[in-house]
């Protein structure tokens, strides 16, 4: 997903409601589970904000670059690469003993303009080169890659991206094969939103990965983003959905979890948010092959939500002042 900047509305209320919540006596969140516990991270905040870096380093053992590995960032102009942000995050992870989730190799959004105008044969060569270049650069340094991101519509049909329209159904299998060739040890995932529960979109994802497995395509897992909202209710059948992917011999990862609150924030809404986070956490822990719980950012200071969903916000485990919210303490009692 796209990372945005600050949460302005409701911040004062949120501070009041979270000041009394102490940090957990149990220690960092990463010590409270045998799963990877991660957060998306932006290099500009990592470099500029000591308190942000301190909490990130203390609480999590995995990081996902928010934007720094996306095609539109690393190669906005054809043949001109900018690895500075991605390199900085990978180096930070190495120095602090964290793993890295690479995000993302093939996605229709945040795509350089020059890619969309290519003819099919050249597009295929360019996608292959992009995957081999990026995954190859970080060979041995990335625990897991989101290889293909958001390939389906809500009704389970293929999203008509430039890749689908010009390369056809085979582009997904090809992408996984190219990524595996570039970094044979990395775990390779398909990643999507609104596939948390049992629905047409998760059914389509299930059928796709089952087919890819049958073809011998090197796919190792399914990434469930888990961008949730109190306005729409908790997804039905989340544990069962995770279990059916695991039964195919795949790992499952919660890759981008957050829970949006309709503003203004109230104590009751914070409790409901905590319920949602706990249900996602518990659904993952109920299935052995659910191996990761990653949130899309950890502080409301830097959240994509208000810019994309007007009237909603406060979606993270920590408030703008980096104080833990009830959701955090529910996961780390």
Q: How many domains does the chain have?
A: 1
- pTM greater than the 0.85 cutoff: yes
The series of mean pLDDT values per 10 residues for the chain, 333 residues long, is 37 40 65 97 98 98 98 98 98 98 98 97 98 98 98 98 98 98 98 98 98 98 98 98 98 98 98 98 98 98 97 98 97 92
End-to-end CA distance of the chain: 29
State the pairing for strand pair 290-295/99-106.
unpaired
Catalytic machinery residues: 150, 256
238 strand-pairing partners = none
Q: Is the preceding peptide bond at 104 cis, omega within 30 degrees of 0?
A: yes
Instruction: Write out the residue range of the structural domain in which residue 78 sits.
Output: 11-331
Structure token digits, residue 80: 């001109």
Residue 96 has a pLDDT of 98
Please state, as a whole number, how many other Cβ atoms lie within 10 Å of the Cβ of residue 106: 25
CATH for 304? 3.20.20.80
Tell whether the torsion through CA atoms of 179, 69, 238 and 203 is positive or negative.
negative
Structure token digits, residue 143: 């625990």
Per-residue HEC secondary structure of the chain comes to CCCCCCCCCCHHHHHHHHCCCCCCCCCCHHHHCCCEEEEEECHHHHHHCHHHHHHHHHHCCEEEECCCCCHHHHCCECCECCCHHHHHHHHHHHHHCCEEEEEEEECCCCCCHHHHCCCHHHHHHHHHHHHHHHHHHCCCCCCEEEEEECCECCCCCECCCHHHHHHCCHHHHHHHHHHHHHCCCCEEEEEECCCCCCCHHHHHHHHHHHHHHHCCCCCCEEEECCEEECCCCCCCCHHHHHHHHHHCCCEEEEEEEEEEEECCCCHHHHHHHHHHHHHHHHHHHCCCCEEEEEECCCECCCCCHHHHCCCEECCCCECCCCCECHHHHHHCC
Residue 105 has a pLDDT of 98
Identify whether 35 is part of a domain: yes
Identify whether 91 is part of a domain: yes
Identify whether 4 is part of a domain: no
Q: What CA–CA distance (Å, rounded) separates 242 from 197?
A: 8
Identify whether 2 is part of a domain: no
**Which residues make Cβ contacts (< 8 Å) with residue 280, sequence separation at least 6?**
196, 226, 228, 238, 254, 257, 293
Residue 296 has a pLDDT of 98
Identify whether 230 is part of a domain: yes
Identify whether 306 is part of a domain: yes
Identify whether 189 is part of a domain: yes
Q: What CA–CA distance (Å, rounded) separates 166 from 197?
A: 30
Q: What CA–CA distance (Å, rounded) separates 272 from 9?
A: 19
Identify whether 72 is part of a domain: yes
């Amino acid at each position: 997903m796209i990372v945005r900047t600050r949460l302005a509305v409701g911040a004062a209320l949120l501070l009041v409601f979270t000041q009394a919540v102490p940090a957990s006596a149990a220690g960092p969140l990463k010590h409270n589970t045998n799963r990877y516990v991660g957060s998306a991270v932006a290099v500009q905040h990592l470099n500029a904000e000591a308190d942000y870096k301190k909490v990130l380093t203390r609480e999590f053992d995995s990081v996902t670059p928010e934007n720094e590995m996306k095609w539109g960032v690393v190669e906005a102009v054809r043949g001109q690469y900018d690895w500075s942000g991605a390199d900085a995050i990978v180096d930070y992870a190495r120095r602090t003993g964290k793993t890295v989730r690479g995000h993302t190799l093939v996605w229709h959004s945040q795509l350089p303009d020059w890619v969309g105008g290519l003819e099919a044969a050249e597009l295929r060569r360019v996608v292959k080169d992009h995957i081999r270049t990026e995954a190859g650069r970080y060979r041995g340094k990335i625990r897991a890659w989101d290889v293909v991101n958001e390939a389906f519509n809500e009704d389970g049909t293929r999203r008509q991206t430039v890749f689908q329209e010009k390369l056809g159904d085979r582009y997904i299998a090809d992408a996984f094969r190219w990524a595996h060739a570039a970094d044979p040890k990395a775990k390779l995932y398909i990643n999507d939103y609104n596939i948390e529960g049992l629905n047409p979109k998760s059914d389509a994802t299930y059928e796709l990965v089952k087919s890819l497995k049958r073809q011998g395509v090197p796919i190792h897992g399914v990434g469930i983003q888990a961008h949730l909202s109190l306005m729409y209710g908790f997804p039905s059948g989340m544990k069962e959905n995770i279990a059916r992917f695991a039964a195919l011999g795949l790992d499952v990862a919660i890759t981008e979890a957050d829970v949006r609150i309709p503003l203004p924030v109230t104590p009751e809404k914070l409790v409901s948010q905590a319920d949602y986070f706990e249900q996602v956490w518990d659904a993952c822990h109920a299935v052995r092959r659910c191996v990761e719980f990653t949130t899309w950012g950890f502080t409301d200071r830097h959240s994509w939500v208000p810019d994309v969903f007007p009237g909603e916000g406060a979606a993270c485990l920590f408030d703008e002042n980096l104080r833990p919210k009830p959701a955090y303490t529910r996961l780390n009692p």
